[in-house]
């Protein structure tokens, strides 16, 4: 009444002409029941905090999705350097053989040659002899680790060498004559030689030039590309050999197309080989990226923006919560209203149905249905609809019980007798006069029910049986925590979603609690 | 009283009949690919019968060849004569698997209930006696927060903090890696150590409801006339609360706690699954997602019986504990 007093003194002090008579209604500030409830509600600070959280969640979920520059299931990429096996290299410690044109340098002859070449004392003036199957052969030591085998009459059989001559041009084989002359010059440290009337020069790196043009090159390394369709260019091989001799572990090389690649050299002592791996840039999904300027909460396992997923997930969770509660409330009002109003056998029947529904183990049933939908490969969108229908259908008995209880007491009151006397139809009596009186309880129950439904939906999605990819839901975002690596290393995947979920459900409960207190006329504060 | 109990029991039987009818009809409507898979696997064994023969035999075995209602009646008959069938997922009799996994769930439930009672009831009473104080607000908000806590999120947080960061507990499992080398006393301690996090989880997620319930009921009692009378005649506040008020608060508490006794056996799906504890919650979950109908049916029937039993106990206790209640 202090408001009133203030008003009175105010008007008296200012000398206003508005003087109401004592029984004038305008003299007393009258609040409608709704305004009373609102006033009581807003006086409850905790409930207001809950309301603010809810407002934030709605803005975050429904407007956030529009404001966000990304789409719900937009995937992001990053370039990643993959080290692929590119080439293998080995220093040649074995003889290699080449047959002269039209001759057969059989493996037995090759073995005989090795036996002879092993001992330096076999050679006199660079020539040794051996006999095999009654044929005499001459072996000429033409240079370091370089031998030529001929028949007695001087016909070339073939050559054995350790330094390898390769052509500078792709797909071109070097002739026997060229290899022989080139190696001879190389192993003896000469700088030029002639083959077939053409002059070649050779430098100490082993490059063979034909009239100033690259023709071939010689070195001790065998270098092979892993993939058969790759030709290792001359420049690359030279560069590689240089790096191998330096003992480098990685080097950069720019190929003919001007693309720079990084190569990693790894020596495998067991097989005395080097393996060369090439760093190739490839585009991969930007999975589990840490929070950055582009992605405030990082990206998830599919390379989608986490913050945007959270916004859409909130939308899904809230919508499901409300639709499920709407279904449950609708069924509950009808069944509870009928049951409470008619009583007797209708009440008996409906209440037994309620008992049966109460007793159905709902979580296991939903899990089994979810697993069955998995097996039938129901489309994610249809699945969401089924989920809402199932949850709604299993949720109505609580509401029906609540409404029935209220109506049972309300229908005995005088205003119901008045409606009966007024000849108002039964359906109007139930749904226009009885049910509106239960609305406060319904509102409280729905508010808290939405919170509960959101948790149920999140739990199912967490088990992978609720909302499915590509749709986001807070539950299926947290689902990733089943991967222990995510649990330990990527907090931004599951902690924000869990916090939002907790806050939302808490806010619904706080608001529901606040509303219950506000609706309660016995409430003193 | 006896008549009342009998009436309630009969009603429970009727409800059980219809609940299981709904459940059975639902499960029968699912794609029965599991039977086909088994039949296919068995028909491929050397010297085996043909696929069709196996399928027919299995269908006959599980009553799948009959109509839904006839099949249900035969299932019910088997259930009440103790023939629970064989679990498809574990290939052992359902009852054996059940016996193997139920006890760990029961012990977890029992320990949880103990802690729940000794934490939630005192806190609820404190909140009620100091209504609108800071303590009351803190307890009320905490209770709501615990109710709102998604179990799986809370477990993940616990695992992160206590297993990964602090390293105090193993993140999963019931026994440590050197369990078999320990003597029996240390084996027991080892299991207890592994049960700490699951129990903490279960306690935290369950105390909220009981705390609020205690507070509401205590407030109701504190507003009653006889409390005002007690205060008026000069009884000390301590005695008013812990002698007069608390005893009356106990009535609804005993009812609800008694009613939740059967649920000690129902297991905890999320907690057991995430901590990889082989209890009834975890096992039933595995069976349900694998389409193991015999085990699922048994488990669902078991759950329905637990619920009915809980309601029955609550109703009876309500009548027994509160002398003011007269059974019509």
B119-141 tens-digit pLDDT: 999 999 999 888 888 898 899 88
What pLDDT score does A142 carry?
A: 80
The pLDDT assigned to A17 comes to 52
Categorize the per-residue pLDDT at A134 as very low, low, confident or very high, splitting at 50, 70 and 90: confident
Query: Is residue B204 predicted with pLDDT exceeding 90?
Result: yes
* Reported confidence tier of residue B13, pLDDT bands at 50, 70, 90: very high
> Which of A365, A375, A465 is closest, CB to CB, to B23?
A365
- Between B144 and A8, name the one with better pLDDT: B144
- Check: CB of residue B277 under 8 Å from CB of residue B199: no
> Contact A360/B150, CB-based, under 8 Å?
no
C-beta atoms surrounding A148 within 10 Å: 22
Token pair for B232: 């008026």
Confidence of residue B32 (pLDDT cuts 50, 70, 90): low
Residues from chain A that touch B147, judged by Cβ atoms under 8 A, are 509
Identify the closest residue of chain A to B223 by CA–CA distance: A522
Nearest CA in chain A to B159: A487
> Which domains does chain A possess?
31-76+296-523 (1.10.3720.10), 88-283 (no CATH)
Q: Is the pLDDT of residue A53 over 90?
A: yes
* Shortest alpha-carbon distance between residue B164 and chain A (Å): 7
Q: What single-letter DSSP state applies at residue B233?
A: T
pLDDT at B18: 92
A48 CB-side CA count, 13 A = 8
Among the ranges given (A516-525, B77-86, B316-325), the one the predictor scored with the smallest mean pLDDT: A516-525
If DSSP codes are grouped into helix, strand and coil, which group holds residue B98? Answer: helix
Model pLDDT, residue A193: 83
Distance from the Cα of B171 to chain A's closest Cα (Å) equals 9
Confidence grade of residue A322 (pLDDT, cut at 50, 70, 90)? very high
Mean pLDDT of B70-98: 85
Which residues in A have their CB inside 8 Å of a CB on B?
46, 352, 355-356, 358-361, 363-365, 367-369, 371-372, 374-376, 451, 455, 458-459, 462-463, 465, 475, 478, 481, 484, 487-488, 491, 494-495, 498, 501-502, 505-506, 508-510, 513, 525
Nearest to A359 among B27, B33, B304 (CB): B304
Nearest CA in chain A to B302: A361
Residues facing residue A98 across a β-bridge: A159
pLDDT band at A319 (very low <50, low <70, confident <90, very high): very high
CATH architecture of B97-321: Orthogonal Bundle (1.10)
Task: Work out the average pLDDT over A495-518.
Answer: 90
How far away is chain A from the Cα of B300, in angstroms, using its nearest Cα?
7
d(CA A267, CA A325): 67
How far apart, in Å, do the first and last CA atoms of chain B sit?
9
**A82: β partners:** A280
H/E run at residue B119: helix B94-129
Smallest CA–CA distance, residue A2 to chain B, in Å, is 23
CB–CB contact B19 A505 (8 Å): no
Q: For the segment A375-386, what is each residue's pLDDT rounded down to a tens digit?
A: 778 888 898 999
The verdict on a CB contact (< 8 Å) between B23 and A491 is no
Give the pLDDT confidence score for residue A207 in this predicted structure. 79
Q: What is the pLDDT of residue A105?
A: 81
Residue A29 reports pLDDT greater than 80: no
Chain A residues lying within 8 Å of B149, measured CB to CB = 502
Cβ distance of A498 and B144 shorter than 8 Å: no
pLDDT in tens, A188-209: 878 888 887 788 888 777 778 8
For residue B318, pLDDT over 90 is answered with no
Split at pLDDT 50, 70, 90, the class of A1 is very low
Residue indicated by tokens 């039987």: B13
Check CB contact under 8 Å for B15 and A487.
no
Percent of chain A predicted with pLDDT > 70: 93
Q: Which residues does chain A have within 8 Å of residue B14's beta carbon, measured at their own beta carbons?
A: 352
Residue A70 carries which DSSP code?
S
Report, as an integer, the average pLDDT of B78-90: 83
Tokens 């035969």 belong to which residue?
Answer: B74
Number of cross-chain residue pairs from A and B with Cβ atoms under 8 Å apart: 114
Is it the case that residue B327 has pLDDT exceeding 70?
no
Q: Enumerate helices (H) and strands (E) in chain A, giving the number of each.
A: 17, 15
Asked whether the predicted pLDDT for residue A4 surpasses 50, the reply is: no
Over residues A246-257, mean pLDDT: 76
- The conformation of residue B47, written as its DSSP 8-state character, comes to T
Radius of gyration of chain A (CA): 45
pLDDT range class, residue A55, cuts 50, 70, 90: very high
Q: Where in chain B is the domain with CATH 1.10.3720.10?
A: 97-321
State chain A's mean pLDDT as an integer.
82
Averaged over A85-91, what is the pLDDT? Answer: 80
pLDDT for residue A15 is more than 60: no
User: Which chain A positions have a beta carbon within 8 Å of B213's beta carbon?
Assistant: none
Mean pLDDT is lowest, of A12-16, A78-82, A234-238, A486-490, for A12-16
Question: Cβ B150–A458 below 8 Å, yes or no?
Answer: yes
* Closest in A371, A451, A478 to B288, CB measured: A371
Distance CA B316, CA B325 (A): 11
pLDDT digits (tens, 9 = 90+) for B142-161: 998 999 899 999 999 999 99
Query: Where does the pLDDT of residue A27 fall: very low under 50, low under 70, confident under 90, or very high at 90 and above?
Result: low
Residues of chain B neighbouring A484 (CB-CB closer than 8 A)? 171
Residues of B in contact with A506 (CB under 8 A): 144-145, 148
Instruction: Answer for the pair B300, A364: CB distance below 8 angstroms, yes or no.
Output: yes
Given a cut of 80, whether residue B168 has pLDDT beyond it is: yes
Residue pair A40/A518 in contact (Cβ under 8 Å)? The answer is yes
Cβ atoms of residues A323 and A388 within 8 Å: yes
Residue in A with minimal Cα distance to B172? A484
Answer whether B150 sits within 8 Å of A465, measured CB to CB.
Answer: no
Calculate how close chain B gets to A314, using CA atoms only, in Å: 15
Q: What is the pLDDT of residue A91?
A: 80
Are B26 and A365 inside 8 Å of each other by CB?
yes
Alpha-carbon distance of A443 to B172, in angstroms, equals 42
- pLDDT at residue A491 in the model: 85
Ranking A49-53, A110-114, A348-352 by mean pLDDT, the lowest is: A110-114
Chain A environment of B275 (Cβ under 8 Å): none
What pLDDT is attached to residue A250? 77
Chain B hits for A483, CB-CB cut-off 8 Å, are: none
- Cα→Cα distances B249→A263, B101, B252, B315, Å: 78, 36, 6, 17
pLDDT band at A3 (very low <50, low <70, confident <90, very high): very low
Least confident window among A13-27, A368-382, A438-452: A13-27
**pLDDT at position A69 over 60:** yes
Residue of chain A with shortest Cα separation from B33: A375
* Chain A residues inside the 8 Å CB shell of B295: none
A525/B132 Cβ within 8 A: yes
Taking CB atoms and an 8 Å limit, are A359 and B19 in contact across chains?
yes
Tell me the pLDDT of chain B averaged across its residues: 86
Closest-CA residue in chain A for B31? A372
Burial class (CB in 10 A: 0-12, 13-18, 19+), A255: exposed
Q: Read off the pLDDT of residues A31-46 as tens digits, 9 standing for 90 and up.
A: 777 888 888 888 888 8
Give the Cα separation of A387 and A449 in Å (integer).
16
Please name the residues in contact with A121: beta carbons below 8 A apart, sequence gap of 6 or more: none
**pLDDT given for residue A6 in this prediction:** 45
């Amino acid at each position: 009444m202090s408001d009133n007093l203030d008003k009175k003194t105010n008007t008296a002090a200012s000398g206003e002409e508005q003087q109401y008579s004592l029984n004038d209604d305008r003299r007393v500030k009258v609040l409608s029941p709704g305004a009373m409830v609102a006033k009581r509600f807003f006086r409850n600070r905790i409930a207001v905090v809950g309301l603010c959280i809810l407002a934030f969640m709605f803005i975050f979920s429904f407007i956030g999705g529009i404001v966000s520059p990304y789409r719900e299931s937009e995937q992001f990429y990053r370039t990643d350097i993959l080290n692929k096996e590119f080439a293998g290299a080995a220093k040649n410690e074995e003889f290699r053989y080449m047959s002269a044109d039209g001759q057969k340098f059989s493996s037995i002859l090759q073995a005989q040659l090795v036996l002879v070449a092993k001992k330096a004392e076999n050679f006199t003036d660079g020539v040794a002899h051996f006999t095999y199957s009654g044929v005499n052969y001459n072996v000429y030591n033409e240079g370091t680790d370089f031998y030529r085998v001929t028949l007695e009459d001087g016909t070339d059989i073939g050559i054995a060498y350790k330094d390898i001559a390769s052509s500078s041009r792709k797909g071109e084989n070097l002739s026997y004559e060229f290899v022989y002359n080139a190696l001879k010059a190389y192993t003896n440290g000469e700088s030029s030689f002639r083959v077939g009337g053409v002059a070649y020069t050779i430098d100490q790196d082993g490059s063979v030039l034909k009239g100033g043009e690259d023709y071939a090159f010689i070195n001790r390394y065998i270098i092979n590309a892993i993939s058969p369709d790759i030709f290792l260019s001359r420049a690359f091989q030279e560069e590689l050999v240089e790096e191998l001799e330096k003992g480098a572990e990685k080097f950069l090389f720019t190929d003919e197309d001007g693309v720079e690649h990084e190569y990693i050299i790894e020596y495998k002592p067991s097989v005395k080989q080097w393996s060369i791996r090439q760093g190739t840039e490839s585009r991969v999904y930007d999975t589990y990226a840490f929070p950055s300027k582009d992605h405030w909460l990082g990206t998830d396992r599919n390379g989608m923006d986490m913050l945007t997923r959270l916004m859409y997930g909130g939308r899904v969770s809230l919508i499901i919560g409300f639709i499920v509660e709407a279904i449950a409330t609708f069924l509950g009002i009808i069944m509870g209203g009928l049951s409470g109003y008619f009583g007797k056998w209708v009440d008996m029947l409906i209440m037994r149905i309620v008992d049966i529904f109460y007793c159905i183990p709902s979580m296991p049933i939903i899990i089994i249905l979810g697993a069955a939908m998995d097996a039938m490969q129901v489309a994610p969108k249809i699945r969401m609809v089924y989920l809402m229908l199932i949850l709604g259908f299993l949720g109505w008995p609580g509401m029906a019980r609540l409404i029935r209880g209220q109506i049972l007491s309300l229908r005995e009151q005088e205003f119901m007798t008045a409606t009966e006397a007024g000849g108002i139809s039964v359906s109007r009596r139930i749904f226009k006069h009885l049910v509106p009186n239960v609305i406060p309880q319904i509102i409280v129950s729905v508010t808290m029910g939405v919170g509960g439904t959101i948790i149920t939906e999140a739990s199912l999605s967490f088990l992978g049986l609720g909302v499915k990819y590509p749709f986001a839901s807070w539950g299926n975002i947290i689902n990733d925590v089943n991967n222990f690596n995510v649990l330990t290393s990527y907090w931004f995947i599951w902690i924000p979603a869990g916090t939002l979920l907790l806050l939302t459900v808490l806010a619904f409960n706080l608001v529901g609690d606040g509303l219950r207190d506000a609706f309660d006329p016995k409430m003193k504060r | 009283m006896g008549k009342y109990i009998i009436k309630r029991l009969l009603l429970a039987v009727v409800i059980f009949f219809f609940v299981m009818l709904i459940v059975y009809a639902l499960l029968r409507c699912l794609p029965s690919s599991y039977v086909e898979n088994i039949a296919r696997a068995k028909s491929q064994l050397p010297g085996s019968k043909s696929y069709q023969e196996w399928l027919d035999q299995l269908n006959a075995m599980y009553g799948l060849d009959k109509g839904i209602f006839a099949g249900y009646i035969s299932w019910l008959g088997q259930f009440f004569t103790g023939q629970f069938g064989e679990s498809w997922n574990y290939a052992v009799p359902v009852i054996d698997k059940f016996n193997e996994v139920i006890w760990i769930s029961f012990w977890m439930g029992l320990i949880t209930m103990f802690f729940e009672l000794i934490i939630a009831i005192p806190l609820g009473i404190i909140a009620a006696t100091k209504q609108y104080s800071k303590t009351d607000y803190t307890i009320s908000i905490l209770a709501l927060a615990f109710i709102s806590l998604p179990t799986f999120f809370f477990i993940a947080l616990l695992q992160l903090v206590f297993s990964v960061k602090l390293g105090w507990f193993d993140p999963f499992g019931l026994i440590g890696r050197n369990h078999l080398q320990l003597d029996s006393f240390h084996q027991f301690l080892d299991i207890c150590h592994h049960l700490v996090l699951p129990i903490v989880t279960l306690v935290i997620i369950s105390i909220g409801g009981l705390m609020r319930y205690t507070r509401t009921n205590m407030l109701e009692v504190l507003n009653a006339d006889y409390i005002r009378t007690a205060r008026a005649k000069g009884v000390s506040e301590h005695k008013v609360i812990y002698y007069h008020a608390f005893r009356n608060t106990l009535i609804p508490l005993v009812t609800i706690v008694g009613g939740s006794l059967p649920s000690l056996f129902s297991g905890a799906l999320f907690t057991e699954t995430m901590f990889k504890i082989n209890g009834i919650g975890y096992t039933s979950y595995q069976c349900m997602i694998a389409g193991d109908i015999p085990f699922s049916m048994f488990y669902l029937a078991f759950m329905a019986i637990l619920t009915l039993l809980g309601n029955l106990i609550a109703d009876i206790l309500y009548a027994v504990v509160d002398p003011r209640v007269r059974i019509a």
